[in-house]
Structure 1
Amino acid sequence: MTRKTTAAKAATAKKAAGKKDAVKKASEKKAAGKKAGAKKTRAGKAPDAKAPAGTTAVPETAPPPQPLPPDMEIAVSPAVDAADRERLLSGTHHAPHSVLGAHPVPGGVVFRVFRPYAQAVTVVSGGVTVELHDDGDGFFSGLLPLREVPAYRLLVTYESAVQETEDAYRFLPTLGELDLHLIAEGRHEELWTVLGAHPMTHQGVAGTRFSVWAPNARGVRVAGGFNFWDGTGFPLRSLGSTGVWELFVPGIGDGELYKFEITRPDGSKTLRADPMARRTEVPPATSSIVTSSAYEWGDARWLERRAEVPAHRAPLSVYEVHLPSWRPGLTYRQLADQLPAYVKDLGFTHVELMPVAEHPFGGSWGYQVTGFYAPTARLGTPDDFRYLVDALHRAGIGVIMDWVPAHFPRDEWALAEFDGRPLYEHEDPLRAAHPDWGTLEFDFGRREVRNFLVANALYWCEEFHIDGLRVDAVASMLYLDYSREPGQWTPNEHGGRENLDAVAFLQEMNATVYRRVPGVVTIAEESTAWDGVTRATHHKGPSGFGGLGFGLKWNMGWMHDSLAYMSHDPVHRRHHHHEMTFSMVYAYSENYVLPISHDEVVHGKRSLVSKMPGDWWQQRAHLRAYLGFMWAHPGKQLLFMGQEFAQGAEWSEAHGPDWWLLDPHYGAEADHRGVRDLVRDLNTVYGHTPALWRCDTEPSGFRWVTGDAAEDDVFAFLRYDADGSPMLAVSHFAPIVRHDYRIGVPDDVPAWHEAVNTDAGRYGGGDVVHPAPVKPEPQGRHGFPASVRLTLPPLATVWLRPA
């Protein structure tokens, strides 16, 4: 686009004379046959003055510009007009490329450059150099009598240096029409590839594309280390009605710090981190960092095999980890040298990482995210995190990651009122503020926000090979009245309390992830009785809603009830027997995970072993019996770090697990090592016993032997494989030995072999075990035609398999 004026409205006579002199000098240099490639700069500066890093030399092979006939009339002023000048200075210009750069006009080609603090700007093309006129306030312009825009570069003279660079405003947009259409529709499933900062080669020039969604902004500029954090001379252009702003900056690459300077609707300015930044500074610093990945993965075999069996029909035993505190001070790469071996030795199939996305406050454990697309820089670079995931995969360990789409913090440099108005959060204050955490809730009804989050889920799975997403705080998303009193929320269009926007978002996220990334599992932390959390999105339930589409759901009811039972003194447990059996009433309503997570061992809740009653021996015995019951119960298992060796203290993110308890120099290390050895054996037997996992979600995979022996504190049940192969689990939660306790069993098993006994001496127990196979007797019991007589150890769980 060009801007035409009349000769009478051209700049002052003094400026016009200067422009004609510039044209004349250029023509005289050409006619005199100046040496091709010769350069001249203002004020006698040497043409080879050292330029800042990231600049390159002018190609010597560039053809010289072709001048216009000398009699062609010059009818355009090259200077930026007053209106455009004001918008550029104030940071409110939507189309800087239409003004700046080189543009054909009547009379030749006009060059306009906006470089605040520059003393001079010279256009270099082939062997011709022309110094532009200084129009003041950092604007420089000139009109050259050329037929078309030539290949050119700029020499920008500052007080102490001359920078040789490409002109950022000579480049076409880097985003295509399809990308912009998908962004506008909220359907760009690879959003991270088009928004943010991306090193690239564009029109044959290396640089970085900066793009950001800010539909309410009056203007956007990019500021960073490359322009001394003054974005005045780097305005982005608005691309149609999409709300996307874009600028290709030549000579910028990996490692550059940047932020977006946004002019709000009221004219004020705000400096913001990139919502799509894929790398950040180490907190408390908040800048985004230009990055690209050069990592070469070595987990192809893992990825090929992970989709062979769906998660709910496969063994899945999860070790939950807070990476910064598992072994404090370790980086991603150092963790890769230790964590996979430890987890593999204990037999867990997966790790679940508490949030790794960037967050400003370490004490939030990662649950208040500001950098949704960036692994936290506290432990290394994004490629370092890839290295850790790759190492876990090569060790045969799956990686689940906590994902937090429910809310985000209010930090003024992040997402809150990003472009001056509610953008990522809901515009209704009652819907925007999360009542519990002092944070903001996403506006799930806005298609661009849904796109931001759905693409984010895909990003972690596709770019970092994550095998599962455990979605945090789903219940807070599903209900409009969550933690709100009457009058603090507005019913949905049907008069209900369901957040229909959140339902649609979760369905879209799950459907998209399962479609694009085979083998990945999504897991809901959902603490209510919402119907159909793990039902397919296209299957409607009694409520009329389609399923949410998750693969698994945390069984918060089982966790609360079973821990409540275990906390009672054994003498009172007969009155709370139902707390251990009630879970089987709804066990097949969803696909469940049994979670003993970080939430249960902090903030005064005590560690798992410290929840148990009695003296130290009894506490450990209770814990071992409970773990045996948990691993045998239908559902997958999750155990938080430190609980696998009976840490007595609550978890602290400052120092992590008390590894010293396993030190041989500590007097009671056998107490803790015994529990860890039990966890290893539970996982080993579990993995080799399909009856414990293949039919987890099918009623045919479970049968009570006795669920009502409240006076004895005994629970006995059978687990079945798909082919009918059984496993018998008996838990005894009284602190006495029961001899010749008769348990009903099928009559088609000739003998039962003890596979696990949590009272074994090697675990720290009393060693009341069954070393020989146990043979059934033809005496019916508990509705079975046969029975076995067992000696039940105190506070113990025993597993028996067909011999």
Structure 2
Amino acid sequence: MPPTPTAAPTSAPAPLTTAADTPKAATPATPPTAPTPLTAPAKTPELATQPTPPATPTPPPTPTVSPALDAPDRDRLLHGTHHAPHSVLGAHPVPGGIAFRAFRPFALGVTVVAGQLKAELHNDGDGFFSGLLPLQGVPEYQLLVAYDGAVQEVEDAYRFLPALGDLDLHLIGEGRHEELWQALGARTMTHQGVTGTRFTVWAPDAQGVRLAGTFNFWDGTGAPLRSLGGTGVWELFMPGVGEGELYKFEITRPDGSKTMRADPMARRTEVPPATSSIVHASHYEWNDAEWLAQRAELPAHKAPLSIYELHLASWRPGLTYRQLAEQLPAYVKDLGFTHVEMMPVAEHPYGGSWGYQVTGFYAPTARLGTPDDFKFLVDALHQAGIGVLMDWVPAHFPRDDWALAEFDGRPLYEHEDPLRAAHPDWGTLEFDFGRREVRNFLVANAVYWCEEFHIDGLRVDAVASMLYLDYSREPGQWTPNEHGGRENLDAVAFLQEMNATVYRRVPGVVTIAEESTAWDGVTRATHHIGPGGFGGLGFGLKWNMGWMHDSLDYMAHDPVHRRHHHGEMTFSMVYAYSENYVLPISHDEVVHGKGSLVSKMPGDWWQQRANLRAYLAFMWAHPGKQLLFMGQEFAQGAEWSETNGPDWWLLDPSYSAEADHRGVRDLVRDLNTVYRHTPALWQLDTDPSGFQWITGDAAEDNVFAFLRYDTDGSPLLAVSNLSPVVRHDYRLGTPEDIPAWHETLNTDTARYGGSDITNPDPLKPEPQPWHGRPTSIRVTLPPLATVWLRPA
């Protein structure tokens, strides 16, 4: 006969035994919802009559301990400051058996169920329950938790080992986890044979972290996370929690105060202004394998690339991602653009920021649908043969008190120096690019969009604000770097790492910098050291802000004054090959009182449209890729508003001036068509051998003429007459061995809304030298127009 357990001290709950320890005749029937508390068995008369064999002495009773939590652990759990809740909650071997402890606020009772065993734990008060079972090992068990009017059978979250591996923790600690979204955030999984969700968050300064959500009525008291060593990562596997549940992290700051925070790694969020994170698992099946296989055939700077920039929420207001997928690919394909560029789609609380103040870096905005809905849109564009670029904002983030700002009570994602943290222009906070975990957060985010959503390229916003310590700051408001310079060395290292990582992991993507200064080597390889001593930043392309400002300034002048500003249109060729450029007419140029693109043009309505058409054809012929913001493709007259979107009614046949707008749209379609089928316009965009001036100094005539060449030497001649007069028999020098030229595009044709002054017959060179060339042709130049000529 086994020895009778010693009674527990009167100050602690009595140790519990299994049902098998008590004779069957003495075991009362136990309802499943109200198990009878099991106590230490006394000697029954039946057992007492069995004599102990005289040769076997009775061993001394095993000492028992109180299974109840001590006061310090209780206090830390109650106040949300416990770093290791799994070490005290759950089931643990102790002298005398296995101690079971549960922390279930508001519960009336908790019962351990392990196979046939049912044992009600002692109520220790404040939501704590404990008991000691004389078992040899920890069994697999569940808990029956009784509340007022309900009993729930649940898995005990504190019986599970960590669901995050040592390699993940090592890479996080090193700041080199390139798939960080697989390790942090909410991830549904089966762990130790049980389905649920693993919640992990980086909060190294927190005293404690608890999980609150719809699954626990937003009371995180009973759901503390454990700290996983020195990485600053907290983890909790919550069995039974699945997709669609809302959650936040309740963080106890170093000063003891508490803050409720959305998950920085959330892959889905509530629709703003609601701010909760949502447990998400993707079930989308892609159908764009053919697109992905061919997109890496040519690097972006050697391929045709014309970009239609749009704000998804206002392109046609009210459409969801899936509704956009029914309309946007067809529209963009009809116009001939090779790519769309979406203004930031990552979640943001304020719609008026257009997405440039991000709070959910890993979640597409819920305003238009779910993450899988967004994948459906990207897939539809790919199947239509259209690449997808998106604006990405790693420079800064807003100060919302439920998001990243002072996330765990101290500066974490932002720099600890207030002068380095505060962005002087936008009222936001700048990332601390020198902190390896922050750098990892952003680098992995760039990879995430490209790998998880099949994004073909990232246009990186506000790069200049990242590169300079004195950006928009006065003397005394910034501190030089270790070399005494103004360069932000941490930001340089981050951008180099981001570009190198993305290009290595995702073949065929392109990164594009919005960089408005003359920083050397934005599109140079990271291992090539430039004159300034820095390696290249590693971008594939850079927005040519200088060309944009100069050319728009020129076009804004009345033609009679343009001869005094001729150099504004030619200066770009002085530096055209210093970087790989995109020519951007973006949303920034048609908001905040700047007016639409057509409204920038001088003259009456006919002249404004003629100027616009001539400018667009000059732009498409100029070295560099093209970008045009939505609405400008049909000469929208009003500047863009995110609440209304483009004025589509201008294309309605019932509108009297509809033909005026349709003509510009038809020109854009033809520009893209000719562009894609003419390698001279894109093949040598970054090679000086692909461009030659015919005349760049005809200031008195307001005429610009240049040649573009492809790799086989086949030319295209582009001529712009930006004066409102017809120039008959205008002589232009031409290269030898071209028997005749024909007009392949003329922005003055009637179908575009022009005066229809054209060159219908082939133009044959004459043996008269001109512009330093042995032959020349005489061309009729329409007013305020651009003409493209190709060898006949």
Normalised to the residue count of structure 2, the TM-score between the two structures is: 0.95
Aligned residues of 1:632 and 1:692 also touching (Cα < 8 A): yes
Aligned residues of 1:74 and 1:108 also touching (Cα < 8 A): no
1:170-185 alignment to 2 at 5 Å?
A: 170-185=159-174
Partner SS state of residue 172, structure 1: coil
Of residues 762, 767, 774, the one that matches 1:778 is: 767
Of residues 578, 589, 599, the one that matches 1:589 is: 578
Residue 533 of structure 1: aligned partner = 522
1:284 pairs with 2:307: no
Aligned residues of 2:8 and 2:65 also touching (Cα < 8 A): no
Of residues 32, 37, 60, the one that matches 1:40 is: 32
- Structure-1 separation of matches of 2:24 and 2:79: 40
- Structure-2 separation of matches of 1:532 and 1:70: 82
Residue 387 of structure 2: aligned partner = 398
Residue 10 of structure 2: aligned partner = 13
Aligned residues of 2:615 and 2:786 also touching (Cα < 8 A): yes
1:148-167 alignment to 2 at 5 Å?
A: 148-167=137-156
- Structure-1 separation of matches of 2:23 and 2:453: 57
1:231-630 alignment to 2 at 5 Å?
A: 231-630=220-619
Aligned residues of 1:26 and 1:130 also touching (Cα < 8 A): no
TM-superposed CA distance for 1:41, in Å, is 3.3
Partner SS state of residue 477, structure 2: coil
Residue 627 of structure 1 aligns to which amino acid in structure 2? L
Residue 710 of structure 1: aligned partner = 699
TM-superposed CA distance for 1:239, in Å, is 0.3
- Structure-2 separation of matches of 1:209 and 1:24: 32
1:648-667 alignment to 2 at 5 Å?
A: 648-667=637-656
Residue 205 of structure 2: aligned partner = 216
Aligned residues of 2:18 and 2:118 also touching (Cα < 8 A): no
TM-superposed CA distance for 1:771, in Å, is 1.7
Residue 672 of structure 1 aligns to which amino acid in structure 2? H
1:717-732 alignment to 2 at 5 Å?
A: 717-732=706-721
TM-superposed CA distance for 1:28, in Å, is 1.9
- Structure-2 separation of matches of 1:95 and 1:536: 46
Aligned residues of 2:202 and 2:232 also touching (Cα < 8 A): yes
Partner SS state of residue 742, structure 2: strand
TM-superposed CA distance for 1:105, in Å, is 1.2
Residue 606 of structure 1 aligns to which amino acid in structure 2? G
Partner SS state of residue 619, structure 1: helix
Of residues 734, 747, 753, the one that matches 2:742 is: 753
Of residues 24, 28, 31, the one that matches 2:22 is: 28
Q: Deviations over 1:21-80 (max 9, x none)?
A: x42766227686899xx76333899xxxxxxxxxxxxxxxxxxxxxxx997524211001
- Structure-2 separation of matches of 1:391 and 1:191: 27
- Structure-1 separation of matches of 2:216 and 2:60: 42
Evaluate the alpha carbon distance shift between residue 29 and residue 584 of structure 1 in structure 2; reply closer, same or farther with a 3 A threshold: farther
TM-superposed CA distance for 1:776, in Å, is 1.2
Partner SS state of residue 42, structure 1: coil
The alignment covers a number of residue pairs equal to 768
Partner SS state of residue 229, structure 2: coil
Aligned residues of 1:349 and 1:398 also touching (Cα < 8 A): yes
- Structure-1 separation of matches of 2:530 and 2:12: 77
- Structure-2 separation of matches of 1:25 and 1:726: 93
Aligned residues of 2:558 and 2:603 also touching (Cα < 8 A): yes
Aligned residues of 1:26 and 1:129 also touching (Cα < 8 A): no
Of residues 638, 644, 657, the one that matches 1:668 is: 657
Aligned residues of 1:39 and 1:127 also touching (Cα < 8 A): no
Partner SS state of residue 475, structure 1: helix
- Structure-1 separation of matches of 2:108 and 2:59: 30
**Structure 2 unaligned residues grouped into runs of 5+:** 38-57
Q: Deviations over 1:417-461 (max 9, x none)?
A: 000000000000000000000000000000000000000000000
- Structure-1 separation of matches of 2:229 and 2:383: 46
- Structure-2 separation of matches of 1:683 and 1:225: 51
TM-superposed CA distance for 1:270, in Å, is 0.3
TM-superposed CA distance for 1:773, in Å, is 1.6
Residue 47 of structure 2: aligned partner = none
Aligned residues of 1:41 and 1:131 also touching (Cα < 8 A): no
Residue 55 of structure 2: aligned partner = none
Q: Deviations over 1:560-598 (max 9, x none)?
A: 000000000000000000000000000000000000000
Aligned residues of 1:39 and 1:129 also touching (Cα < 8 A): no
- Structure-2 separation of matches of 1:70 and 1:604: 92
Partner SS state of residue 380, structure 2: helix
Residue 157 of structure 2: aligned partner = 168
Residue 497 of structure 2 aligns to which amino acid in structure 1? E
Residue 53 of structure 2: aligned partner = none
- Structure-2 separation of matches of 1:748 and 1:34: 109
Evaluate the alpha carbon distance shift between residue 84 and residue 502 of structure 1 in structure 2; reply closer, same or farther with a 3 A threshold: same
- Structure-2 separation of matches of 1:233 and 1:397: 50
TM-superposed CA distance for 1:209, in Å, is 0.2
1:194 pairs with 2:183: yes
Residue 28 of structure 1 aligns to which amino acid in structure 2? T
**Structure 1 unaligned residues grouped into runs of 5+:** 1-6, 46-68
- Structure-2 separation of matches of 1:167 and 1:39: 21
Aligned residues of 1:747 and 1:778 also touching (Cα < 8 A): no
- Structure-2 separation of matches of 1:34 and 1:124: 17
- Structure-2 separation of matches of 1:184 and 1:451: 10
Q: Deviations over 1:658-700 (max 9, x none)?
A: 0000000000000000000000000000000000000000000
- Structure-1 separation of matches of 2:217 and 2:209: 17
Residue 699 of structure 1 aligns to which amino acid in structure 2? P
- Structure-1 separation of matches of 2:455 and 2:305: 15
Query: Pairwise CA RMSD of aligned residues?
Result: 1.6
1:104-115 alignment to 2 at 5 Å?
A: 104-115=93-104
Residue 22 of structure 2 aligns to which amino acid in structure 1? E
- Structure-2 separation of matches of 1:40 and 1:631: 77
Normalised to the residue count of structure 1, the TM-score between the two structures is: 0.94
1:787 pairs with 2:776: yes
1:735 pairs with 2:732: no
Aligned residues of 1:215 and 1:244 also touching (Cα < 8 A): yes
Q: Deviations over 1:305-358 (max 9, x none)?
A: 000100000000000010000000000000000000000000000000000000
- Structure-2 separation of matches of 1:394 and 1:95: 50
- Structure-2 separation of matches of 1:618 and 1:30: 102
TM-superposed CA distance for 1:775, in Å, is 1.2
Evaluate the alpha carbon distance shift between residue 257 and residue 568 of structure 1 in structure 2; reply closer, same or farther with a 3 A threshold: same
Residue 521 of structure 1 aligns to which amino acid in structure 2? V
Partner SS state of residue 705, structure 1: strand
Residue 639 of structure 1 aligns to which amino acid in structure 2? L
Of residues 682, 686, 703, the one that matches 1:693 is: 682
Residue 50 of structure 2: aligned partner = none
Q: Deviations over 1:126-179 (max 9, x none)?
A: 112110000000000000010001111000001121111000000000111111
TM-superposed CA distance for 1:749, in Å, is 0.9
Partner SS state of residue 77, structure 1: coil
